[in-house]
Structure 1
Amino acid sequence: MRSSSYIFKSIFNNLKEALKGSQQDFTTGSIRKAVFMLSIPMILEMMMESIFALVDAYFVSSLGPNAIATVGLTESVLTLVYAVAIGLSMGVTAIVARRIGEKDPEGASQTAVQAIILGCIVAIIISCIGILFPKEILRLMGGEPDLIEEGFGYTQILLGGNITIMLLFLINAIFRGAGDASVAMKVLIVSNGLNIILDPMFIFGFGPIPEFGVKGAAIATTIGRGCAVILQLIILFNGWSKIKVGFHNMVLKMGLMINLVKVSLGGIGQFIIGTSSWVFLMRIMAEFGSEVLAGYTIAIRVLLFTLMPSWGMSNAAATLVGQNLGAQKPDRAERSVWKTGKYNAWFMVFVSIFYLILAEWIIGFFSQEPDVVKYGALSLRVIAAGYIFYAYGMVVIQSFNGAGDTKTPTIINFFCFWVFQLPFAYAAAIWFELGVLGVLLAITFAEVLIAVVGIVWFRKGTWKGVSV
């Protein structure tokens, strides 16, 4: 029997190695260690990404329900940008991981460049829409006239500067696919540090910086993410990770671009389905007033903080699947998924218990208004009740994506979100007059359905034969 001191020392050494970002071959050795080495920096990376939302919610909450609701409505629209960014990221991670597994770092570098070019093109198109039509976007989402006048600047800046979001996701996906999860984590630590410092300065004013109100949160977040993107590019061009991009790579290669788009389309599709569903749910919530919308917005941001670590473990599974398929080890890829799912489930059970017990206290940290706390706490409890299903569902879905099989999750999302969740939410909330509870039940039931269908499909093993 190993002593407890030996076990703790081994965990501490592995933790230090994971955070340091030592070069690893994840196609050999202990699967448990591989999951640990990838998950720790990916969990921290995802938590850093969600801190953007939490910090904004914390500072903006003091400006009143309209400001919080503006953030919620804008973020629901911005999730469409996230859908494209994350969908492209899935394709990037899958192809880069496969090239690394095949011991082809030059092929991985070429894919990285095509991803950056594609991301810039998409971001410019979205920027034009966001800069020209911010009021129309908020009006379409059901924002009241005073909310639109107070908050359209926030929407304009975040959508106008979406290239920072797009590239942040894409370049970190390159690092993750290469197994350099710690690099992505460190970039986001820098970015979040800037956001925490700049948020109160631009929202409330500081020295020569005027008071921008809710618009200041968008300015601070865009600056923070922009600095992170610059750092990412420096790392890529200087070869401070497994992938080095040189000026000889900076050419458009249509073959690689088409392959990237082909693999990414499923990922974009599945997230557009999921996030458009999110937008419609937010639109239904808007029917019940700003206080309800504010409580729901705070709850979702808190939930995202703990869903991001779960997403981090899911990303670790995707990288392991991609690299092991590239190394012709499909059985090892499958074992990696089940182990990651089990660890994720234990984490999510603990978090759901925490939310069920302390829901009012958590929401009360962001707002003291009774209705905001009431509906925020209800949102936390109902959604967290299905967390153990989310754990396995997220890992399995990401594993399909890591294999390059982005079509299967798209089909699952289509039926679970559009065919089931949206009609259920509308019927329960409006027709059967369950109100907010009806929307929340739709969210939880849909995620449970995704987990069940995903596991059944994953067991068929068709994903093992996908080539990218």
Structure 2
Amino acid sequence: MYTLELTRENLNKNIARLAIPAAMENILHMMVFIVDIIMVGRLGTEAIASVGLAGALNFVLTIVFSAISVGTVSLVARHMGAREKAAAERVAAQSMFLAMVIGICVAPILFFSAVNVLYLMSAEPEVADLGALYFKIVICFLPCRLIMLAANAAFRGAGDARTPMLITLLMNCTNVLFNWLLIFGMWIFPRMEVAGAAWGTAISYVLGALLATAILFGGRAPITVRIGDMLPDLGVIKRILKISMPAALDAFLTQAGYLVFLKIVAMLGTSSLAAHQIAIRIESFSFMPGYALAVSTATLVGQSLGAKKMDLAQLSMRRSCIYALAVMCTFGILFLLIPGQLASIFSPEKDVLGLTIICVMIAAIEQPALAVYMVYAGGLRGAGDTLSPMMITIIGTLFFHVPVAYLFGIVFGWGLAGVWFGAALDWIGRAIAVYILYRRGRWRRIEV
């Protein structure tokens, strides 16, 4: 059992118990995609490009669909904090039912539109066709993927971040094994190349769903789901969607904004595009602690509000923010001190290297703002207030992130540095906005 003791004395322990496994789980989710890229590397450039293209689309969809589970975390945490275990179990069961329905309904649409979407993303028909082959196989198992995401959200809401991490670890091991068997045709298995990588990922999704379901039904988690709980309950589903839909729209707009942002960068030339991608990869290391602390904050705030411990909910956000600032600002200092060494790991080309160094140094400026935004937005979502982060995203994306990047980078002629500086200003604005909303306290009064 991994129930949380909601006291000030246990707060640091609770943050660590939730944040560290959440960080590891996020890394492991990314590794599924990275392993596919590495293992098809022997098949040639087209195979790498196609799996990279389809994997990027799959990753975007995963982020959007993961946001649907925000309501699960918030509601399960609130009920667990209030010692309403049966209600928390009901929410978990309905979340899995909802995930299954969404997966079954959406998978055919994505299956038949895969080629067209990938053609828009790629200028080379061969790459798009091969990417569509990979994507179509993986997307057939979308229901399994979503069921696992819903179950893992229920675990986290109940205070158990370790189980989702272990499930994701076993998924990675399964993916590596079946990739090896199916990509290269080892033992009794046929050589399937790119399709083999897709089947390896798909099989790992099935395993993840089976493990998560078995644990929830088997009584080995803080909450236990029963078959009867899976029968549709429109009241509970409505509560889940009320919280989850703004979060899903938030995630969709973030990803859409990023694609437009990427188009602006591409207008600056190949060197700028390469430097941008490298800088993003370098900065992504600082995102991990921020993401993990946002996840832990959501659970702690939800459970504290359920237990009527308002002071503890506020303290959870403040202390998590301090930890996020400490870790992410440390990364920021490294970005300022050794940007050249970090950039040279990825590219030796002088033009790309010079641009990457500038981007990494600008990234250092936005680390405090990112820390504040990620943690406080996570806390608001845990309280059930997903509308506020969504509105910040809408305003930030439509009126700052994209237009300011275009203004500074293209109109003013500041190039890639201008684009990144505009993005940094956007994150600073978002951090100020989310902190103001936290201080106003609407999240304290939200009924879920």
User: Could you tell me the TM-score, scaled by structure 1's length?
Assistant: 0.84
For residues 301-450 of structure 1, the aligned pairs below 5 Å read 301=281, 303-355=283-335, 380-450=360-430
Change (3 A) 1:222 1:282: farther
Q: C-alpha distance in 2, partners of 1:370/1:47?
A: 30
The letter for the 2-side match of 1:121 is V
Q: C-alpha distance in 2, partners of 1:205/1:309?
A: 39
The letter for the 2-side match of 1:392 is V
Aligned to 2:30: 50
| 367-376 or 407-416: bigger deviation | 367-376
Aligned to 2:251: 271
Aligned to 2:434: 454
Identity across the alignment (%): 29
User: In the alignment, is residue 84 of structure 1 matched against residue 59 of structure 2?
Assistant: no
Q: C-alpha distance in 2, partners of 1:373/1:207?
A: 44
The letter for the 2-side match of 1:444 is A
Q: C-alpha distance in 1, partners of 2:345/2:195?
A: 22
Query: 1:244 aligned to 221, 224, 240, which one?
Result: 224
User: Could you tell me the TM-score, scaled by structure 2's length?
Assistant: 0.88
Q: 3-state DSSP class of the match of 1:386?
A: helix
Q: C-alpha distance in 2, partners of 1:262/1:49?
A: 27
The letter for the 2-side match of 1:152 is A
8 Å contact kept, 1:76–1:278: no
Q: C-alpha distance in 2, partners of 1:351/1:132?
A: 43
The letter for the 2-side match of 1:126 is V
Q: C-alpha distance in 1, partners of 2:261/2:125?
A: 20
Query: 1:37 aligned to 11, 14, 17, which one?
Result: 17
Q: 3-state DSSP class of the match of 1:23?
A: coil
Deviations 1:96-152 (A, max 9, x none): 000101111111111111111111222223321332122210222354334324433
Query: 1:221 aligned to 173, 195, 201, which one?
Result: 201
Query: 2:81 aligned to 96, 101, 112, which one?
Result: 101
Change (3 A) 1:122 1:295: farther
Aligned-CA RMSD value: 3.1
Change (3 A) 1:299 1:192: farther
User: In the alignment, is residue 152 of structure 1 matched against residue 103 of structure 2?
Assistant: no
The letter for the 1-side match of 2:174 is L
8 Å contact kept, 1:403–1:463: yes
1:174 to partner: Cα distance: 0.4
1:448 to partner: Cα distance: 2.4
Change (3 A) 1:200 1:428: farther
Change (3 A) 1:129 1:374: farther
8 Å contact kept, 1:69–1:293: no
8 Å contact kept, 2:141–2:205: no
Change (3 A) 1:381 1:166: farther
1:180 to partner: Cα distance: 0.9
User: In the alignment, is residue 187 of structure 1 matched against residue 167 of structure 2?
Assistant: yes
Q: C-alpha distance in 2, partners of 1:145/1:320?
A: 48
User: In the alignment, is residue 121 of structure 1 matched against residue 72 of structure 2?
Assistant: no
Change (3 A) 1:128 1:434: farther
Deviations 1:418-464 (A, max 9, x none): 22112223344444455544444444332222112111221111211
Q: 3-state DSSP class of the match of 2:256?
A: helix
8 Å contact kept, 2:91–2:236: yes
| 89-98 or 144-153: bigger deviation | 144-153
8 Å contact kept, 2:92–2:151: yes
1:312 to partner: Cα distance: 1.2
1:291 to partner: Cα distance: 7.5
Q: C-alpha distance in 1, partners of 2:270/2:124?
A: 9
Q: 3-state DSSP class of the match of 1:317?
A: helix
Q: C-alpha distance in 2, partners of 1:146/1:133?
A: 17
Deviations 1:53-77 (A, max 9, x none): 4434444566666655545544553
Q: 3-state DSSP class of the match of 1:133?
A: helix
Change (3 A) 1:22 1:258: closer
8 Å contact kept, 2:383–2:446: yes
| 306-315 or 259-268: bigger deviation | 306-315
Aligned to 2:152: 172
Change (3 A) 1:442 1:56: farther
- The runs of 5 or more residues in structure 1 that have no matched partner are 1-20
